[in-house]
């Protein structure tokens, strides 16, 4: 058929539309060039084959019709997603309610899904945050006292070397009138003592303390710390430390051990714990303790001022003009003259009685701790005093007579009336008269300072403590020791030590008002005081005036946990941080500090038990890290007798009643830790020390079974384990007392495994005869078993210890290879007598061994090798 030309095609195409009625449309006649141009324009309007086309091609290979799915998705109308499948008429209430119910369910499901997802991500963020906080806390604890290795610098000179007037913020808060202190000269910094020398003298005190605790005798720990500090080279920092210890001794009432009062009534361990830890501030013991703290702090401040007066008079003997043994009244008369008498006259602000500043003299007698002398001085001038106020002398008399420095309400009200009428708003008044009325009547407790009287830090502090109201009977007032402490804490350290050169001053202030935990925290935060922080905390914990928190109570890096009514301090963490630098060098000394943690064992609730448990964990950790842990834990000799370690000798300090509790809490837990760390020999020794002989055998059996066929030419821990196992087995087997407590099956299994190992080593070194003989002694091989008893023998062997059973495939294989080696050697000796009989015996043993392996049917049995070797022996 001839190919039609273009003209014929054109005519045919026109005939195709001839039957249509609408012939009025014009015909388009395009040439080839025009058609080509129009085609190119159409192509240019479409993009080239893109990612969608390639994706469609790939999906088509997986029999996925992408265009059809696209058309289906395009045809979906989301507006009708939540519309009723059937139209709901206005009067069809049931359908409307059903539809609303379904929509409510769908909405609830969607909200629940969204809330669940949000809760998940929120919990995830909290978990990540907690993990990060824990890691950050550990890092901070590791780096908290890293600068302790540096040489420490002095923290300043003696108490009261500068007045509070140098702190503008404090002076503004308590009023004017503070001037340079007269007790000491200007502050001079000096190089501090090395940390190591102080640690060395203090650790002897801690050892002596624990020795006394073991013996159940009181120990004057504060005076022991004072004596230890005084053995250090003399320098200002040492004097600061001694002063702080002396203050603490006065507060807690620890008498000098060389005095008669200590011999008759020494201060016992945890003497104040019941009073200090009492949750009720109204408790009689708690009130007595607060009065004890007030009295002790004031006495130390009074003795300090008396020393200042004595030094001033000694430095000016001509002006003082005192006799050989002057009384306190005469000393203060001379001191006042040196201080306030110039150019033949007294200072104008002093009120004179018969030419003498009576009010100043009475005040300074009280300030130096001589209330009886102050009363006697006032009674000498009773006429002059009654002329001014007839109630002052009776109030002073009652104030001196009462231990709590209280005055009856009737007298106090009358004295307050006189104070408010004649003194409070007077334009000119003797400052010491003002101070005496304010002190005895406890007037204006919110304003506890008097210009020209509370000039120095110690003067101001003494006045605060003297005005504190802690009555013996009745409810505590709102002006007691706690309120004084709250005021001081509110002022803060910067108010007393703006330049930070006298940190010991702030520590002593906190101790004086009973804020013991804050004082230790303040010391711990300063690297040059952290050593003393540990030992002051130890003294406080020994006498029971140191609170520790629960382990579950959250805290940041700071060890101090402030509370609404009282603070607590993590004493256990303080000890842990202190000993970590010498735990490996001197573990025994580190343990002495760990024993201190149990001082708080009588803390209320579960806190005391947590302290004891933490001490146990630290003991285990120290022993775990020690290269010679037997010195700490003890051990057993080859004859089975045990020798005690350092921890066992001091287990009473860890509240462990007997050896059984010691083994349970310390030794066995540490053995488990060694076991988990794959230190099997150490674990075995500790199980043995604790008398857990069955556990020793089980552990050795498992370890030997795991390395039974290890190459003898490789030295490893497995060899030491087997040596230990032989030693333990011999000791247990030959010691009747121990053997009666060990299961016979465990002893037999251990013996079999050791015998198998010996046989394997003989075979390895070419002693097949001897090796097979030792393997046969284990009664695991079927050489003496008849064919009819083979199955029974296999079942009997399967009941052996798993350490034996799992090694049976290798035992049988090694035995077959040894038989094949002997068979080959025997075939070389064809001319010897009994040649054929020997070959027959070896073939019979190989046959029985193969049958035995088949009867066992254990996984891992190398039957191809067994069959091959047996067939070689029959060929």
Model pLDDT, residue 38: 80
Give the whole-angstrom CA distance, residue 231 versus residue 193.
12
The pLDDT assigned to 870 comes to 86
Sketch the domain layout of the chain as residue ranges. Answer: 107-143, 779-874
pLDDT at 84: 58
Whether the pLDDT of residue 507 is over 50: the answer is yes
**pLDDT of 253 above 80:** yes
Number of Cβ within 10 Å of residue 791's Cβ equals 15
Closest CA to 199 of 232, 237, 248, 240: 232
693-706 residue pLDDT tens: 999 999 999 999 99
pLDDT in tens, 292-350: 999 999 999 999 999 999 999 989 888 877 766 788 898 999 999 999 988 889 998 89
pLDDT of 396: 93
pLDDT value, residue 176: 33
pLDDT at 140: 62
Residue 557 has pLDDT above 70, yes or no: no
pLDDT for position 64: 77
Q: Quick one: pLDDT at residue 145? A: 47
Q: Give the C-alpha separation, 692 to 746, whole Å.
A: 13
Q: What is the pLDDT of residue 191?
A: 32
Q: For residue 476, is it left (φ>0), alpha (ψ between -120 and 50) or beta?
A: beta
Using alpha carbons, select from 503, 493, 540 the residue that is nearest to residue 523.
Answer: 503
Quote the CA–CA distance of 795 and 809 in Å, as a whole number. Answer: 15
Phi, psi of 634, deg, nearest 5 = 95, 180
pLDDT-based confidence at residue 163 (cuts at 50, 70, 90): very low
Structure confidence at residue 165 (pLDDT): 33
pLDDT in tens, 337-384: 999 988 889 998 899 988 899 999 999 999 999 999 999 999 998 888
Question: Mean pLDDT, to the nearest integer, of 786-803?
Answer: 89
Highest mean pLDDT pick, 55-69, 89-103, 104-118, 821-835: 104-118
Residue 353 bridge partners (DSSP): 356
User: Nearest Cα to 475, choosing from 281, 193, 726?
Assistant: 281
Structure tokens at 603: 């803390």
Q: What is the pLDDT of residue 244?
A: 96
| pLDDT for the residue 88 | 54
pLDDT band at 784 (very low <50, low <70, confident <90, very high): confident
The model carries a pTM of 0.74
């Amino acid at each position: 058929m001839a190919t039609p030309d273009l003209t014929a095609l054109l005519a045919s195409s026109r005939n195709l539309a001839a039957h249509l009625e609408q012939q009025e449309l014009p015909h388009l006649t395009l040439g080839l060039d025009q058609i080509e141009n129009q085609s190119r324009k159409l192509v240019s309007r479409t993009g080239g084959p893109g990612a969608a086309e390639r994706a469609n091609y790939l999906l088509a290979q997986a029999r996925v019709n992408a265009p059809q799915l696209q058309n289906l998705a395009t045809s979906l109308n989301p507006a009708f997603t939540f519309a009723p499948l059937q139209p709901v008429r206005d009067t069809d209430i049931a359908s409307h309610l059903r539809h609303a119910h379904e929509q409510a369910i769908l909405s609830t499901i969607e909200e629940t899904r969204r809330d669940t997802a949000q809760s998940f991500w929120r919990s995830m963020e909290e978990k990540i945050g907690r993990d990060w906080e824990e890691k950050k806390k550990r890092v901070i604890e590791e780096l908290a006292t890293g600068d302790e290795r540096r040489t420490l610098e002095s923290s300043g000179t003696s108490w009261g070397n500068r007045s509070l007037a140098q702190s503008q913020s404090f002076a503004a808060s308590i009023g004017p009138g503070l001037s340079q202190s007269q007790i000491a000269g200007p502050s001079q910094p000096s190089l501090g003592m090395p940390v190591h020398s102080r640690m060395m003298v203090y650790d002897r005190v801690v050892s002596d303390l624990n020795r006394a605790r073991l013996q159940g005798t009181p120990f004057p720990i504060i005076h022991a710390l004072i004596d230890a500090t005084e053995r250090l080279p003399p320098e200002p920092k040492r004097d600061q430390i001694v002063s702080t210890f002396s203050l603490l001794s006065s507060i807690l009432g620890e008498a000098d051990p060389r005095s008669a009062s200590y011999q008759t009534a020494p201060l016992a361990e945890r003497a104040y714990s019941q009073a200090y830890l009492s949750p009720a501030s109204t408790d009689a013991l708690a009130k007595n303790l607060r009065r004890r703290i007030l009295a002790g702090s004031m006495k130390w401040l009074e003795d300090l001022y008396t020393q200042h007066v004595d030094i001033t008079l000694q430095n000016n003997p001509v002006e003082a003009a005192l006799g050989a043994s002057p009384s306190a009244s005469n000393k203060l008369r001379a001191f006042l003259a040196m201080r306030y008498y110039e150019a033949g006259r007294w200072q104008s602000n002093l009120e004179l009685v018969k030419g003498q500043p009576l009010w100043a003299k009475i005040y300074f007698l009280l300030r130096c701790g001589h209330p009886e002398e102050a009363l006697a001085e006032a009674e000498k001038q009773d006429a002059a005093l009654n002329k001014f106020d007839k109630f002052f002398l009776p109030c002073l008399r009652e104030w001196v007579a009462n231990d709590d420095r209280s005055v009856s309400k009737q007298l106090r009200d009358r004295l307050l009336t006189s104070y408010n009428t004649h003194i409070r708003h007077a334009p000119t008044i003797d400052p010491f008269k003002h101070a005496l009325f304010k002190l005895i009547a406890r007037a204006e407790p919110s304003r506890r300072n008097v210009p020209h009287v509370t000039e120095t830090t110690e003067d101001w502090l003494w006045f605060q403590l003297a005005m504190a109201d802690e009555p013996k009977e009745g409810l505590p007032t709102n002006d007691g020791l706690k309120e004084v402490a709250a005021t001081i804490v509110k002022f803060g350290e910067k108010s007393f030590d703006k330049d930070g050169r006298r940190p010991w001053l702030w520590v002593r202030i906190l101790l004086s008002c009973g804020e013991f935990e804050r004082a230790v925290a303040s010391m711990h935060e300063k690297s040059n005081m952290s050593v003393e922080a540990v030992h002051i905390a130890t003294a406080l914990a020994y006498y029971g005036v140191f609170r520790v928190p629960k382990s579950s109570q959250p805290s940041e890096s700071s060890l101090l946990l402030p509370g609404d009514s009282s603070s607590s301090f993590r004493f256990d963490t303080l000890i842990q941080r202190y000993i970590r630098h010498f735990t490996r060098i001197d573990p025994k000394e580190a343990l002495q500090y760990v024993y201190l943690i149990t001082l708080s064992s009588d803390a209320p609730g579960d806190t005391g038990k947590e302290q004891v448990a933490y001490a146990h964990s630290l003991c285990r950790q120290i022993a775990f890290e020690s290269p010679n842990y037997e010195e700490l834990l003890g051990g057993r000799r080859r004859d089975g007798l045990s020798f005690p370690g350092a921890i066992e000798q001091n287990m009473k300090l860890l509240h462990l009643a007997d050896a059984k509790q010691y083994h349970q809490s310390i030794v066995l837990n540490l053995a488990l830790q060694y076991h988990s760390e794959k230190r099997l020999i150490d674990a075995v020794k500790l199980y043995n020390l604790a008398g857990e002989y069955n556990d020793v055998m089980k552990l050795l059996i498992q370890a030997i079974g795991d390395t039974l066929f290890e190459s003898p030419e490789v030295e490893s821990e497995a060899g030491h384990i087997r040596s230990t196992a032989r030693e333990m087995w011999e000791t247990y087997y030959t010691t009747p007392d121990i053997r009666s407590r060990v299961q016979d099956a465990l002893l037999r299994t251990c013996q079999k495994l050791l015998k198998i190992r010996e046989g394997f080593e003989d075979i390895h070194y070419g002693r097949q005869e001897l090796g097979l003989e030792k393997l046969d002694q284990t009664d695991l091989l079927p050489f003496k078993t008849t064919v009819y008893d083979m199955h029974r023998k296999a079942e009997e062997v399967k009941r052996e210890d798993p350490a034996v059973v799992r090694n049976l495939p290798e035992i049988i294989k090694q035995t077959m290879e040894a038989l094949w080696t002997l068979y080959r050697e025997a075939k070389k000796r064809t001319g010897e007598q009994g040649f054929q009989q020997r070959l027959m015996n070896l073939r019979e043993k190989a046959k029985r061994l193969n049958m035995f392996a088949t009867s066992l049917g254990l996984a891992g049995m190398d039957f191809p090798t067994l069959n091959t070797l047996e067939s070689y022996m029959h060929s």
